[in-house]
Amino acid sequence: MPPRRVVTGRSQEPRQRFAEELRQLRAGSGASLRQLGERLGWDWSLFGKMEKGETLGGPEVVQALDQHYRTSGMLLVLWELARGDKTQFKERYRRYMTLEAEAVSLWHFAVSVLPGLLQTRGYARELLAAGGLTGDALTQQVEARLGRQELLEGEGAPPFRTILSEAVLRTALRDAVAWRQQLEYVAEVAERPNVTVQVLLQSAGLHGLSTTDVWFLRLAEGRTVAYTEHGYGGELIEESVAVERMQRAYDATRDLALSPAESRKFILRMLEEVPCDPST
């Protein structure tokens, strides 16, 4: 095992500590990033990003590094500590927002709530309020979410596909008028040439994304990143092996969903179940 070094004040921050350990271990081995990539079978640029603290990588690549450097699981422990750092969600989300704005195409799967790019003001407000936001903070977050929808508008708007589990469309808002407006908006957006909406019926059964809301972003340089999320956090995934595995699960889920035309008919049938006058 390589000799240990004294932990400085700067390296006590978990993410920095992890990146510094990676840099020191590679420097001690005398290998370049490219050589490390060739030896372990990963794209060498991933190791460069990990050493800069831009990404943490996935557990598979960290385990491979542990074995390569013979660090007896030390890197995996540091990786877990870095993932648990409370500042990381905000950092990852900010990075995701940057990548989303640069994406040349986007695709998505929803387990229980509509994606932000398809939410009306009423839906966004009720959802964010349920998460604990109030007052000015709630108003600001609603406006920020609606502002993101400009991404799908205009001549240069990227292609966007979303698969909505049936549960998304069965979980109505408390306000029937707002819920009707939301369903009408989804049906309207589904007619845009750059937007594809599919519905996955509950009768399709369990599948590889049954518990995972996920976004995929295709970037201009040709690579794809993924972002998984839940009500209290999210994770940006850039390691190619992990992204490809999730893409295969997405493709299999898409094959189970209704066609875009049948999906729009399903949404219109849902609209028929919502009274125009909530008092009736």
Domains, the chain, ordered by start: 14-82 (1.10.260.40), 91-273 (3.30.870)
Q: How confident is the model at residue 3 (pLDDT cuts 50, 70, 90)?
A: very low
**What's the CA gap between 189 and 191, in Å, rounded?**
5
As a whole number, mean pLDDT of residues 119-128 equals: 94
More confident residue, 135 or 243: 243
**What's the CA gap between 167 and 93, in Å, rounded?**
25
User: What is the CB-side half-sphere exposure of residue 121 using CA atoms within 13 A?
Assistant: 4
Is the pLDDT score of 92 beyond 70? no
Is the pLDDT score of 217 beyond 90? yes
Is the pLDDT score of 89 beyond 70? no
State which H helix or E strand residue 200 sits in.
Answer: strand 195-200
**What's the CA gap between 51 and 26, in Å, rounded?**
9
As a whole number, mean pLDDT of residues 102-117 equals: 94
Residue 158: per-residue pLDDT: 95
Is the pLDDT score of 136 beyond 50? yes
As a whole number, mean pLDDT of residues 187-211 equals: 95
Is the pLDDT score of 2 beyond 50? no
Residue 4: per-residue pLDDT: 40
User: What is the CB-side half-sphere exposure of residue 222 using CA atoms within 13 A?
Assistant: 0
- At residue 55's C-alpha, the angle toward residues 51 and 56, to 5°, is 85
DSSP state, 118?
G
Tell me which residue of 231, 129, 134 sits closest to 173, measured CA to CA. 129
Least confident among 51-60, 162-171, 263-272:
51-60
Least confident among 2-6, 82-86, 110-114, 229-233:
2-6
Residue 15: per-residue pLDDT: 83
Give me the residue label for tokens 């049906």. Answer: 187
> In this structure, what token pair is assigned to residue 100?
């989303």
**Rounded alpha-carbon distances, angstroms, from residue 220 to 10, 99, 101, 180, 212:** 35, 10, 11, 37, 26
Tell me which residue of 199, 219, 208, 193 sits closest to 262, measured CA to CA. 199
Least confident among 70-79, 194-203, 215-224:
70-79
**In 10 A of CB 32, how many CB atoms?**
12
As a whole number, mean pLDDT of residues 199-219 equals: 94
As a whole number, mean pLDDT of residues 181-194 equals: 96
Is the pLDDT score of 9 beyond 60? no
Q: What percent of the chain has pLDDT over 70?
A: 89
Is the pLDDT score of 192 beyond 60? yes
Residue 205: per-residue pLDDT: 94
Q: How confident is the model at residue 98 (pLDDT cuts 50, 70, 90)?
A: confident
Ordered DSSP codes for 216-261: EEE-TTS-EEEEEEETTEEEEE--HHHHHHHHHHHHHHHHHSPPHH
Residue 7: per-residue pLDDT: 39
- At residue 198's C-alpha, the angle toward residues 214 and 277, to 5°, is 110
DSSP state, 194?
T
> In this structure, what token pair is assigned to residue 177?
């008028």
Residue 148: per-residue pLDDT: 84
